[in-house]
C-alpha cells in the first residue's frame, strides 16, 4: 500500500498523541510469574519522549485493550494524563477522549499494532504503526516507524512532533534516527 506523505506541517498540528501499549510501548511480551505477577519491558527513551512532547503542549494518552497494573504503574510514573485500559474499541476511546478535550480527530496521532487499532489508526489525522505490526494496522498507517515497538518507536514519533513544533529535544540534527534507544 502506498502511504500518504506526512509533512512537517501535519506533524506540527498534532494536539493529541494517543497509542496502544502492548506492541507499541513494549515489544508485545508480557511476562507472568508463577505467583501471577506481571512484568513488561518499557523503553526509557520512549518515556522521555512522551514527557518532552507533553511539555510542548501535546496531550498524551494510552489506550489499551488489557487491564494491567504494570501499565498503570508506568503511566503514573510518566504522569500520562489519559490512560484508558480494558477498551477494545480503540476508535470509540480515541473519539471520546478527543471530544472531551475539544480536539478534532484530524489533530490526533494514533499509534497501534493490531487489528483492533486499525479503525483508530485510519481515523486519526496521522495514523502510525510499527514495522512488526499485523497487516491491518500496517495497511491503515500513514507512517510506519523505523524503530521497533519497545525499542524507541514511540520516541521516533515524539521527535517528529517536536521537530515540527520547532522544540527540539536534545541533539536532533540527524533526525529521529540519531536518537539511541
Check: CB of residue 6 under 8 Å from CB of residue 16: no
Contact 42, 137 (CB under 8 A): no
Question: Tens of pLDDT along the chain (181 residues)?
Answer: 556 779 899 999 999 999 999 999 999 888 889 988 888 999 999 999 999 999 999 999 999 999 999 999 999 999 999 999 999 999 999 999 999 999 999 999 999 999 999 999 999 999 999 999 999 999 999 999 999 999 999 999 999 999 999 744 554 444 444 333 3
Has residue 150 been placed in a domain?
yes
User: Which residues, listed in sequence order, are joined to residue 124 by a DSSP beta bridge?
Assistant: none
Q: List all residues 6 or more positions away from 102 whose beta carbon is below 8 Å from its beta carbon.
A: none
Average predicted confidence (pLDDT) for the chain: 90
Instruction: Check: pTM over 0.85? Answer yes or no.
Output: yes
Range of the domain at 165: 8-178
State the total domains in the chain. Answer: 1
Residue 151 forms part of a structural domain: yes
Q: Examine residue 123 and state whether it is found in any structural domain, yes or no.
A: yes
Alpha helices in 13-146 (DSSP H): 44-55, 69-78, 90-101, 118-123, 135-140
Residue pair 121/33 in contact (Cβ under 8 Å)? The answer is no
Amino acid at each position: 500500500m502506498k502511504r500518504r506523505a506526512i509533512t512537517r506541517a501535519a506533524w506540527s498540528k498534532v494536539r493529541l498523541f494517543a497509542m496502544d501499549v502492548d506492541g507499541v510501548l513494549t515489544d508485545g511480551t508480557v511476562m507472568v510469574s508463577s505467583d501471577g505477577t506481571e512484568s513488561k519491558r518499557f523503553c526509557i527513551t520512549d518515556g522521555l519522549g512522551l514527557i518532552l512532547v507533553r511539555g510542548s503542549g501535546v496531550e498524551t494518552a494510552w489506550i489499551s485493550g488489557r487491564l494491567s497494573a504494570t501499565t498503570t504503574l508506568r503511566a503514573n510514573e510518566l504522569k500520562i494524563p489519559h490512560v484508558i485500559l480494558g477498551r477494545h474499541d480503540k476508535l470509540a476511546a480515541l473519539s471520546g477522549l478527543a471530544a472531551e478535550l475539544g480536539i478534532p480527530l484530524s489533530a490526533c496521532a494514533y499509534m497501534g499494532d493490531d487489528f483492533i487499532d486499525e479503525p483508530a489508526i485510519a481515523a486519526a489525522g496521522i495514523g502510525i504503526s510499527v514495522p512488526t505490526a499485523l497487516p491491518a494496522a500496517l495497511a491503515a498507517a500513514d507512517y510506519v516507524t523505523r524503530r521497533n515497538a519497545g525499542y524507541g518507536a514511540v520516541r521516533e514519533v515524539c521527535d517528529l512532533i517536536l521537530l515540527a513544533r520547532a522544540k527540539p529535544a536534545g541533539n536532533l540534527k540527524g533526525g529521529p534516527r540519531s536518537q539511541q534507544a
